[in-house]
Structure 1
Amino acid sequence: MKADVFNARALREAFGAFPTAVTVITANDPADRPVGSTANSFASVSLDPPLLLVCLAKTSRDYPTMTKAEHFAINILSEAQKNVSINFARPAEDRFAAVDWARGPNGCPIFAQVAAWFECSMHDVIEAGDHVMMVGRVTAFESTGLNGLGYARGGYFTPRVPAKAVSSAAGGEICAAAVLERHGSLFPLGDENLPFPSCSAAGGDPANTLASHLEQLGLSVHDWFSLLDL
């Protein structure tokens, strides 16, 4: 698509093809109250000096506070923190009430059970269209070893699930099956003992194989749950 015919929605969808981590930027307002916003435009910049950047929309209600803060933190959410991401993406009054957090060495809110966190001093704020790039100099950090939460094409995903499925398939043939849900209830088996939709997933990505099989049946997939760790 050429520049003179750009469609904002189409461009957003194209940007969304690039899988990213999910983070929550946190800081404190002048009254030392915590503020935070979900952001997935995050990147490491430099090891020496230790720099990172995150992009914040100018429409964010926390934009004035974030860009004037001397310190801020980046919380890289773990696979179990989808609800945290959703909560901090909404205009709720007290976003911090539903998350376990503590103050970092410089006082920034640090979440529990994240994949990693970084506390930073503000290095630079760079204007970038309808966003700003907040460049931070890392002053403290921790990596917990938990798997991170991913985001692509408008939906959340867990990189660990397909990876474990492929690993399991490498040891022999694996059968992929799905549980059906309708109107908030699981699909009843009834007296006919109806089987779950399933298919052989030999070779390739079992999750994609199952998704393609379900599409052929006219079924759409909304959520993936893994039993591989049970």
Structure 2
Amino acid sequence: MAADQGMLRDAMARVPAGVALVTAHDRGGVPHGFTASSFVSVSMEPPLALVCLARTANSFPVFDSCGEFAVSVLREDHTDLAMRFARKSADKFAGGEFVRTARGATVLDGAVAVVECTVHERYPAGDHIILLGEVQSVHVEEKGVPAVYVDRRFAALCSAAGACPSATGRGVPAHAG
């Protein structure tokens, strides 16, 4: 007997996850993207990473046929962008926060990290597709606290001492806000 979908969703909501924007261009060069909490390093040799995308996503046809994609790991102050890219809206890239890399990818300016991949393989996985990418380029910012999503909300990263780091590096009490 299969697991109850509601219970599975509730259980998976308890797993903290980083938040990223995944972008690719269609054949006409127009950027498309989605919010992902399923960005995972798979292998160091060769360098592989994966993202998962629902087959019902508006951008699914682009990612089902693209040759390259980029992942912009979001900072804690990028929650509005995460929500914008999670919706089925027309122009997710309005606002000018995006830049083109030397490889031609559209990425978020000021992301905690940017990982550019060529598509290594695609795997069907139920109502999703697993996009496995071979990492071609990586950029890591020196400052910034990554966004975290848990219990269906954004949360702060906190130390065992009860202080949550902020983008400025100063601790914020864990019970604040």
**SS at 1:151 equivalent:** strand
Cα deviation 1:111-161 (Å, max 9, x = unaligned)? 1111101011000001111111100011111010321000011011121xx
Judging by fraction of residues, say which structure has more strand: 2
Supply the distance in 2 between the matched residues of 1:16 and 1:133 (Cα, whole angstroms): 19
Tell me the number of residue pairs that the alignment of Structure 1 and Structure 2 aligns: 169
CA contact (8 A) 2:119 2:133 kept: yes
CA contact (8 A) 2:57 2:88 kept: no
Name structure 2 gaps, 5 residues minimum. Answer: 165-171
In structure 2, the partner of 1:87 is 84
**SS at 2:76 equivalent:** coil
Residue 7 of structure 1: CA displacement?
A: 2.2
Supply the distance in 2 between the matched residues of 1:71 and 1:106 (Cα, whole angstroms): 10
**SS at 1:97 equivalent:** coil
Supply the distance in 2 between the matched residues of 1:45 and 1:38 (Cα, whole angstroms): 19
In structure 1, the partner of 2:148 is 150
Paired amino acid for 2:129 = V
CA contact (8 A) 2:71 2:115 kept: yes
- Calculate the aligned-residue CA RMSD, in Å: 1.9
Cα deviation 1:11-63 (Å, max 9, x = unaligned)? 11101111000011100011101100011011001111111001111111101
In structure 2, the partner of 1:163 is 159
Change (3 A) 1:79 1:167: closer
**SS at 2:145 equivalent:** coil
Change (3 A) 1:17 1:94: same
Supply the distance in 1 between the matched residues of 2:155 and 2:103 (Cα, whole angstroms): 32
In structure 2, the partner of 1:22 is 19
Supply the distance in 2 between the matched residues of 1:158 and 1:98 (Cα, whole angstroms): 25
Supply the distance in 1 between the matched residues of 2:109 and 2:161 (Cα, whole angstroms): 28
Change (3 A) 1:137 1:45: same
TM-score (norm 1): 0.69
Residue 98 of structure 1: CA displacement?
A: 2.5
What percent of counterpart residues are identical? 31
CA contact (8 A) 1:84 1:99 kept: no
Judging by fraction of residues, say which structure has more helix: 1
TM-score (norm 2): 0.88
Residue 102 of structure 1: CA displacement?
A: 1.1
**Structure of greater relative contact order (alpha carbons < 8 Å, 6+ residues apart):** 2
In structure 2, the partner of 1:180 is none
**SS at 1:148 equivalent:** coil
CA contact (8 A) 1:105 1:140 kept: no
Change (3 A) 1:14 1:167: closer
In structure 2, the partner of 1:181 is none
Name structure 1 gaps, 5 residues minimum. Answer: 169-175, 177-205, 211-223, 226-230
In structure 2, the partner of 1:54 is 51
Change (3 A) 1:59 1:24: same
